[in-house]
């Protein structure tokens, strides 16, 4: 019997309830049970239950939430599936390397924390906004002339690689040891809100594009840094110091 | 573009035409095209075509034959899928090792010859008679408490392992390409000097340890982010905005 590991599959805006059931079955086949549904079109549904086959327990315990942010709030590491081979901002790992990372990070997760894999809609994948919580992208190697994998097939393959990575024992450690647990998505959100306040207060704006764009850039590279909670606190502390000093100096006006 | 390799999937006594279509799609996703159907209950069928999605070419070229013997007559190596972990007569390889064997044997196959993977019925697998043509068994590692994989899922996983085995040794994980060159050590030094200035100006110090220690922490996680020059400039711009605003507000004193 395998020890449980806190690895979550998050299905975002899924159109077909049958796919949700098939994902539940694929997860259970690979000893995974934590399923979260973001804004599914139809759920629960008879078609989902039929396709889940013997995995109705996974389906029954699935949580439904309205946003990706809520789905990963307690997650210290988030990977998003993609069909792209390269990306401007994210590291792209193939499914095998990604599974090793996920397992290792799940093993070192703080009590109550989890790691997550995001799956986008059947037709359009994930939006940039939904990608904001991700630390890296996961890609399944496939025929370049016919890449379009069904979502349940993708979940099956990723679950399988996770199963293989767990089975093969510890493997070579690739991560630097941490003195504190990784920051969770919630910690990042508070950090980015705080940073946005300071940016507004000092009038730091993108000269060529919208402020949203600038913030998105900053989020991407800070996500990439994979901050631990101490490091996130250092940044929060610096932001607080900047705000205090400005107020002491009488710089209250925006 | 991958060189074609003579690897055949053989579906035996398949009950559900939808599964045949899903297998065709899974094969094409993994750059396989040679599909043979032994005695399918219903074929062709609208459900098979629907599930094949963009892989109707694989479906259209599928051959239908009455026996396993006929399906593998030209095959120099045959593996049969199984759910058993051990077997009295056959070697049992897991899907990864099996894929390496299949690819190697397909590469050394004589012109006109092929290697084959047999898939049994959804409910009962393969009979001993059908196994008679096999050289070895292939097993997909899965949750011992819930092993029952859908036939199309099994074809997807085996096809994926074959695809991975065919790929050149080097992994396909790639780093995010940059829109700007990576920041050089010099750029980092200027950034950190600038940051130290702002930290001094706002009186942000380590309460428990020396300022050097705090700066070392920040350097570590910003280094980890692997900033490009644009990203380093965004941070420099933010620091400058913070300093300007403080000076405008009269906050010149340290």
The verdict on residue B120 lying in a domain is yes
Instruction: With a cut of 70, say whether residue B174 has pLDDT above it.
Output: no
- Please give the average per-residue pLDDT across B30-57, as a whole number: 96
Q: Does residue A47 sit in the same domain as residue A161? A: yes
Q: Are residues A236 and A122 in the same domain?
A: no
Compute the distance between CA of residue A211 and CA of residue A206 in angstroms, rounded to an integer: 6
pLDDT tens digits for range B67-77: 999 999 998 89
Nearest residue to A10 (alpha-carbon basis) of A37, A32, A44: A37
Q: Can you tell me the mean pLDDT for A87-93?
A: 83
Question: How far, in Å, are A48, A88, A114, A217, B86 from residue A92 at the CA level?
Answer: 31, 10, 21, 17, 37
Query: What is the three-class DSSP state of B172?
Result: coil
Contact (Cβ atoms closer than 8 angstroms) between residue B118 and residue B79: yes
Range of the domain at B113: 7-166
Domain CATH for B136: 3.40.1280.10
- Residues of chain B in contact with residue A148, where contact means CB-CB under 8 angstroms, are 29, 53-54
Comparing CB atoms, the residue among A54, A163, A234 nearest residue B142 is A163
| Amino acid A40: pLDDT | 97
Burial of B161 (0-12, 13-18, 19+ CB in 10 A): buried
- Per-residue pLDDT at B220: 80
Same domain, A132 and A196: no
Q: Please report the residues numbered 36 through 95 in chain B whose beta carbons come closer than 8 angstroms to any beta carbon of chain A.
A: 53-55
B178-203, pLDDT tens digit by residue? 567 777 878 888 999 999 999 999 99
- Lowest-pLDDT range of A5-14, A43-52, A168-177, B55-64: A168-177
Same domain for B33 and B98, yes or no, is yes
Identify the closest residue of chain A to B227 by CA–CA distance: A221
- pLDDT attached to residue B175: 54
- The Cα–Cα gap between B36 and B118 comes to 10
Q: Which of A157-171, B30-44, B63-77, B223-237 has the lowest mean pLDDT?
A: A157-171
Q: Is residue B1 part of a domain?
A: no
ipTM over 0.95: no
Average pLDDT over residues B56-60: 96
What residues of chain B lie within 8 A of the CB of A224, using their CB?
224-226
Q: How many domains in chain A?
A: 2
A131 found inside a domain = yes
Taking CB atoms and an 8 Å limit, are B173 and A93 in contact across chains? Answer: yes
Position A175 in a domain: no
State the pLDDT at residue B254: 41
CB–CB contact A142 B149 (8 Å): no
Query: What does the alpha-carbon distance between residue A11 and residue A62 come to, in Å, rounded to a whole number?
Result: 10
Of the residues A121, A140, A167, the one at which a domain ends:
A167
Go through A73-103 and write b for each residue having 16 or more CB atoms within 10 A of its CB, e for each that does not.
bbbbbbbbbbeeeebebbbbbbbbbbbbbbb
- Range of lowest pLDDT (A231-240, B124-133, B170-179): B170-179
- Kindly state the average pLDDT of the residues A134-150: 92
CB atoms within 10 A of CB B56: 16
Interface with chain B: mutation pick from A143, A219, A230, highest number of B CBs within 10 Å:
A143
Q: How many CB atoms lie within 10 A of CB B10?
A: 24
Position with higher pLDDT, B185 vs B233: B233
The pLDDT tens digits for A62-74 are 999 999 999 999 9
Residues A191 and A97 in one domain: no
Residues B77 and B120 grouped into a single domain: yes
Handedness of CA A205, A210, A215, A217 (dihedral sign): negative
Query: Rounded to an integer, what is the distance from CA A79 to the centroid of its chain?
Result: 4
Give the span between the Cα atoms of B74 and B70, in whole angstroms: 8
Which of these three, A114, A141, A167, is where a domain ends?
Answer: A167
Looking at the complex, does the CB of residue A97 fall below 8 Å from at least one CB of chain B?
yes
Q: Hey, are the CB atoms on A28 and B172 less than 8 Å from each other?
A: no
Report chain B residues whose CB lies below 8 A from the CB of A203.
241, 245
Best CA proximity match to B199, nearest among A193, A241, A248: A241
How many Å is the Cα radius of gyration of chain A? Answer: 20
Q: What is the pLDDT of residue A216?
A: 86
- Domain identity same for A149 and A193: no
| B140-156 residue pLDDT tens | 999 999 988 999 999 99
Give the gyration radius of chain B's Cα atoms: 30
**Phi, psi (degrees; rounded to nearest 5) at A185:** -55, -40
Percent of chain A exceeding pLDDT 70 equals: 89
Higher pLDDT, B9 or A211: B9
Q: What is the mean pLDDT of residues A197-222?
A: 81
Chain-centre distance of CA A160, in angstroms? 19
The nearest CA of chain B is from the CA of A253 a distance in Å of: 8
- Determine which helix (DSSP H) or strand (DSSP E) holds B55, and give its type and residue range: none
**Residue B224's CATH number:** 1.10.8.590
Q: Give A150 or A247, the one with higher predicted confidence.
A: A150
Give me the mean pLDDT over the A141-157 stretch. 94
A206-220, B35-49, B96-110, range with greatest mean pLDDT: B35-49
Q: Do A249 and B246 touch (CB under 8 A)?
A: yes
Residues A103 and A157 in one domain: yes
Interface of B with A in 119-178 (CB under 8 A): 140-150, 152-153, 156-157, 160, 163-164, 167, 171-178
Pairwise CA distance, residues A157 & A179, whole Å? 33
> In this structure, are strands A75-82 and A7-12 parallel, antiparallel, or unpaired?
unpaired
Q: Same domain, yes or no, for B37 and B149?
A: yes
Asked if residue A135 lies in contact with residue A188, where contact means CB atoms within 8 angstroms, the answer is no
Residue A231 near residue A181, CB atoms below 8 Å: no
B195 and B162 within one domain: no
- A113-139 pLDDT, tens per residue? 999 999 999 888 899 889 888 999 999
pLDDT, mean of residues B1-19: 91
Question: Does pTM surpass 0.90?
Answer: no
User: At B79, is the pLDDT very low, low, confident or very high (cuts 50, 70, 90)?
Assistant: very high
End position of a domain, from candidates A167, A196, A214: A167
List, as ranges, residues 10-29 from B with C-beta within 8 Å of A: 22, 25-26, 28-29
**Alpha-carbon gap, residue B164 to B38, rounded angstroms:** 27
Largest CA distance in chain A: 66
Buried b (16+ CB within 10 A) or exposed e, B214-234: bbebbeebbeebbbbeebbeb
Q: Do residue B162 and residue B125 come from a single domain? A: yes
Kindly write down the DSSP assignment for every residue of B82-121, as one continuous string: ES-S--SSS-EEEHHHHHHHHHHHHHTPPTT-EEEEEE-B
Judge whether B171 lies within some domain: no
Q: For residue A84, is pLDDT > 90?
A: no
């Amino acid at each position: 019997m395998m020890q449980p590991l806190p690895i979550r599959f998050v299905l975002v805006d899924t159109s077909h309830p049958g796919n949700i059931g098939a994902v539940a079955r694929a997860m259970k086949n690979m000893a995974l049970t934590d399923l979260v549904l973001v804004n599914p079109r139809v759920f629960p549904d008879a078609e989902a239950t039929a396709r889940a086959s013997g995995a109705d327990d996974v389906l029954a315990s699935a949580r439904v939430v309205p946003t990706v942010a809520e789905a990963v709030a307690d997650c210290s590491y988030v990977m998003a599936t993609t069909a792209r081979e390269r990306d401007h901002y994210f590291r792209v790992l193939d499914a095998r390397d990604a599974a090793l990372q996920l397992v290792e990070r799940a093993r070192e997760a703080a009590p109550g924390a989890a790691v997550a894999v995001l799956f986008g809609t059947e037709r359009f994948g994930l939006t940039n906004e939904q990608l904001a919580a991700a630390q890296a992208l996961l890609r399944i190697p496939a025929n370049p002339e016919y890449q379009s994998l069904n979502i349940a097939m993708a979940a099956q393959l990723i679950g399988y690689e996770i199963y293989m990575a767990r089975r093969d024992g510890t493997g070579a450690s690739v991560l630097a040891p941490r003195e504190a647990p990784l920051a969770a998505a919630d910690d990042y959100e508070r950090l980015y809100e705080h940073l946005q306040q300071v940016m507004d207060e000092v009038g730091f704006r993108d000269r060529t594009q919208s402020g949203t764009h600038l913030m998105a850039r900053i989020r991407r590279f800070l996500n990439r840094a994979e901050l631990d909670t101490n490091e996130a606190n250092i940044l929060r502390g610096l932001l607080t110091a900047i705000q205090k000093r400005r107020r002491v100096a009488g710089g209250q006006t925006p």
